[in-house]
Structure 1
Amino acid sequence: MGNIKDNVKRAIHFQYPDYIPLMYYDHNLIEKTDVVSIFVTELAGGPGHDTSEWGFRWELEKNDQGFYAPGSVKYPAITSWDQLKNYKPLVAKKSGRFDYAQKLMSKYPDRYYVANCEASNFTLCAYIRGFEDFLCDLYEEPENVRKLIDIVFDAEEDLIGECAAAGFDAVWWEDDWGTQLAPIVNPELLREFFLPRMKKAVDLAHSLGIDIWLHSCGYIYDLIPDLISIGIDGLNLGQVSLNGVERMGKEFGGKICFLTPGNYQSTGITGTVQEIFDEIEKFTIHLNTEKGGMVGLVSAVSTRLGYGAPLENALALPRAFEKYCGRWNPIKR
C-alpha cells in the first residue's frame, strides 16, 4: 500500500487508489485520517459580534441542544455601493496564518492537507453585501456586482497562492448554492457572474499544483456539469441524497470526486443506525468507481450532536465509514 497523500490524490484524480480515503474533521483522530482540513481564514464565529477578515460581522446562534450553530451575518461590510471604493478585503499574506498547519505538516508530512477558506465566491459576496440586497443587486446593480466579484476573487487568488506556497494540497471553497428544491438564484446568473472567475481561480490553483474542493448545501444537481467544466476537483454536497445518489453516480461518476459526508439533515438525525450504515454503503457503490472518485468525510461527534442527532447515530457514522472506507479496507481488484 502506497503513501497516504498519494492515495488521496489518486482517489481524487481517478488513478486507482488502494482504498477510499477518509477525512476526520476531529484533529484528535489525526492518526486515522488521510485528509486534514484546516481553517485558514477568520470568519469570526462565536458568541457576540466579531468582524471577519472580509469586514462583515457574523453571529452564531445557540440551538436547543446548547451548541452554537451557524446563524447569520448581522452587519454586512458594504451597506451602500458608495462604500465599495473604500472596501478592504482579506489580505492573503498574514503573519501566523499557517502556523498551526505547518506544525501538523511537520509532524504528519504524509497526509493530504486542505486549506478551508470557509465562505467563498457567491456566498462570500452575499455576506459582504448582505444576502437580500445582493440577490437584488444581481438584477439591479450588475456593474457594481462585477466590481465586488473582481475584488473578492483577486483576494481569493492571492490566498490560493499563499496556500500553495505553505504546502497545502488543496483549497476548499464553501459556497452554498442550493435550497431544498432548487438553486438559490437562477443558474444563469451564477454562470454569468461567477463561473468565469471561478474557472480562472481553478486554473491558477492547478498551475500551482493544488486541487480545488467546493462545498455546497442544497439541491444543485443541474449545476454539477458546470462545476466539472471549470475543473473543480472535489465536490462536497451537504445533502448528498437530496441530489439523487444513483443518478449522480450514473451521470457524474468518474468525472468529479465526491467528498461525501453522512447525511446530517435526515438519515443522521432521524434514521436508525442500520439506515446510516446502508446509506454509507450506497455512497460507496454508486459514487465511487473502480478508478476512484470518493473521499468519506467524518464530522466530529460534537458537530453531529449539535445538528440534533441522537448519541447512537452520532457514534454510528464513523463506524459506518470505517466499515467501507479507510486504510484497513483495501480495494480488491
Structure 2
Amino acid sequence: MLTKRENLLETIRGGHPDRYVNSYEPYVLIVDPIMKAIGGMPFTMKPGDTDINGWGVKVDFPLGAPGPFPMHSEELTVLKDITKWKETVKAPRVVFSDEEWAETKAEVAKIDRKEYFVTGFIAPGIFEKVHYLMGMQEALISFYEEPEAMHELIDFLADWEISHGKEMMKHIQPDALFHHDDWGSQISSFISPEMFEEFLLPAYKKVYGYFKEQGCIIIHHSDSYGANLVPYMIEMGMDIWQGAMSTNNIPELIKKYKGQITFMGGIDNGIVDRADWTPEKIAEVVEKVCRETGTEFFIPGTTMGGPESVYPGVYDAVTKEIDRMSKIMFK
C-alpha cells in the first residue's frame, strides 16, 4: 500500500495510485508566524468575531459562514484610489526571529515527510488582496480604468508573497504550497480570461515559479467556476486545482487537460455542507461524483478551502464515503 504522499504523487503524475487521495489527507497545513500575525483568518477568529488584518482590512466572520469576509464602506475601505496605492498600502512584515519561528519549527519536526507533505499556506491570494483593499466593485473597475496602477499593485503583492516564501524556505522547507485565491462565482470567472492573462498570470508565474524552483508542488484553492482559466493555471505551474466545483464539468476538463493538471473537489459544499445533511445524502453525492469523474487526475473532496466543514460531521462523513468508493473504483 502506498503512503499518502506516494499516492498523491502517483495521482498527479498519471502513475498507478492504489486508491483515491482522500481530500486533504496527504497535506499537513502549516500556519506560520507570518500568517498568524496577519490574522483575519479562521485560525485566528471564530464565528461572530471581527478583526483588522495585517493589511489594515476589517474582516467579519458571520455566524454560519465558511470563513471571514472583508468589510467595505467609505470609512473602512483601505485603498480608495488605486493611483495612490504606494502611499496607502503597507505590507505586513515577513521577517520574524528564530524564537518566533520556534513553535512552528517544532511542529514541522514531528511530521513524517515520507507520509505527508509539509504544506506552506498563503491567504488571501493576490486577486483577493486587491479586492480586500479596495472592495470588489472598485477593484473590477480599476482593471479597466487604471491598468498601469493595477499592474504595479499586483507586482508589489506578488513580490511580497515571494518574500513570504523565502522565509518559509529558510525556516521550514515546505514540500508543497497551499495558496488561496478565489477567481469566480459558481458559474463564471470574475474577470475575463484575457484580463486574467494580462494581470494575474504574470504575477502567479513569478510566485509559483519561485516555489516550483524550491521543489514544491502547488495546490491552489478557488472554490468557483474556473474552467475558462485552466490553460493559465497550467502555465503558471499549478499542480492541483482544489475547490473545483461541479459546475466546471470536471470529467470534461480531465479529458481535455489530462496529464497537465489534477482537479480536487467535485463535491460542492453547497450541496452537502448543510444544516439538513445526512450520511445517506452524502453517500449518494460522493458515489455519483466518483463514478462520473473516474480515477485519473482527480482527487474527490468538498470544495472547502481546508480540512473542515461549516456543519460538524460533514467533512468526516465525506472522507468515509470516499474511502468506500476507493474500494469500488480501484479494484
> Structure 2 matches for 1:162-241, cutoff 5 A?
162-165=167-170, 166-237=172-243, 240-241=245-246
Q: 1:13 to 1:43 in 2, by over 3 A?
A: farther
- Aligned to 2:86, which of 61, 78, 84? 84
Report how far residue 243 of structure 1 moved: 1.1
Deviations 1:47-99 (A, max 9, x none): 55422223322111223xxx774333343432234352353213333346755
Query: Which whole-Å CA distance do the structure 2 matches of 1:181 and 1:250 have between them?
Result: 20
- What is the letter of the counterpart of residue 211 of structure 2? A
- What is the letter of the counterpart of residue 78 of structure 2? A
2:221·2:243 contact (CA, 8 Å) conserved in 1? yes
- Aligned to 1:70, which of 61, 64, 68? 68
User: In structure 1, the residue corresponding to 2:282 is in which secondary structure?
Assistant: helix
TM-score by length of 2: 0.81
- What is the letter of the counterpart of residue 27 of structure 2? V
Identity between Structure 1 and Structure 2 (%): 22
Query: Which whole-Å CA distance do the structure 2 matches of 1:252 and 1:245 have between them?
Result: 10
Query: Which whole-Å CA distance do the structure 2 matches of 1:279 and 1:168 have between them?
Result: 34
2:53·2:59 contact (CA, 8 Å) conserved in 1? yes
Q: 1:272 to 1:253 in 2, by over 3 A?
A: farther
1:51·1:58 contact (CA, 8 Å) conserved in 2? yes
Q: 1:243 to 1:23 in 2, by over 3 A?
A: closer
Query: Which whole-Å CA distance do the structure 2 matches of 1:262 and 1:208 have between them?
Result: 32
2:39·2:53 contact (CA, 8 Å) conserved in 1? yes
- Aligned to 1:36, which of 14, 19, 28? 28
Q: 1:43 to 1:288 in 2, by over 3 A?
A: farther
Higher relative contact order (CA 8 A, sep 6+): 1
> Structure 2 matches for 1:143-162, cutoff 5 A?
143-162=148-167
Query: Which whole-Å CA distance do the structure 1 matches of 2:4 and 2:329 have between them?
Result: 12
TM-score by length of 1: 0.80
- What is the letter of the counterpart of residue 150 of structure 1? D
**Pair 1:14-2:14 in alignment:** yes
> Structure 2 matches for 1:109-120, cutoff 5 A?
109-110=112-113, 111-120=116-125
- What is the letter of the counterpart of residue 322 of structure 1? D
2:120·2:178 contact (CA, 8 Å) conserved in 1? yes
Question: In angstroms, what is the RMSD of aligned CA positions?
Answer: 3.1
Query: Which whole-Å CA distance do the structure 1 matches of 2:123 and 2:159 have between them?
Result: 16
Q: 1:53 to 1:263 in 2, by over 3 A?
A: same
2:23·2:299 contact (CA, 8 Å) conserved in 1? no
Report how far residue 224 of structure 1 moved: 1.2
**1:121 corresponds to:** 126
User: In structure 2, the residue corresponding to 1:305 is in which secondary structure?
Assistant: coil
Deviations 1:87-126 (A, max 9, x none): 3213333346755543332222231122221211111111
**1:29 corresponds to:** none
1:39·1:118 contact (CA, 8 Å) conserved in 2? no
Q: 1:13 to 1:94 in 2, by over 3 A?
A: farther
1:76·1:128 contact (CA, 8 Å) conserved in 2? yes
Query: Which whole-Å CA distance do the structure 1 matches of 2:181 and 2:59 have between them?
Result: 16
**Pair 1:263-2:268 in alignment:** yes
Report how far residue 298 of structure 1 moved: 9.1
Deviations 1:238-281 (A, max 9, x none): 5x212113222322333212222632112443676444224333
2:8·2:17 contact (CA, 8 Å) conserved in 1? yes
Report how far residue 128 of structure 1 moved: 1.9
- What is the letter of the counterpart of residue 105 of structure 2? Q
**Pair 1:246-2:255 in alignment:** no
Count of residues in Structure 1 that have an aligned counterpart in Structure 2: 312
Q: 1:77 to 1:172 in 2, by over 3 A?
A: farther
Report how far residue 223 of structure 1 moved: 0.9
Q: 1:261 to 1:109 in 2, by over 3 A?
A: farther
Query: Which whole-Å CA distance do the structure 1 matches of 2:214 and 2:328 have between them?
Result: 32
Query: Which whole-Å CA distance do the structure 2 matches of 1:283 and 1:268 have between them?
Result: 15
Report how far residue 2 of structure 1 moved: 4.3
- What is the letter of the counterpart of residue 78 of structure 1? L
> Which structure 1 residue ranges, 5 or more long, are not aligned?
25-32
Report how far residue 139 of structure 1 moved: 0.9
Query: Which whole-Å CA distance do the structure 2 matches of 1:68 and 1:222 have between them?
Result: 25
Report how far residue 17 of structure 1 moved: 3.1
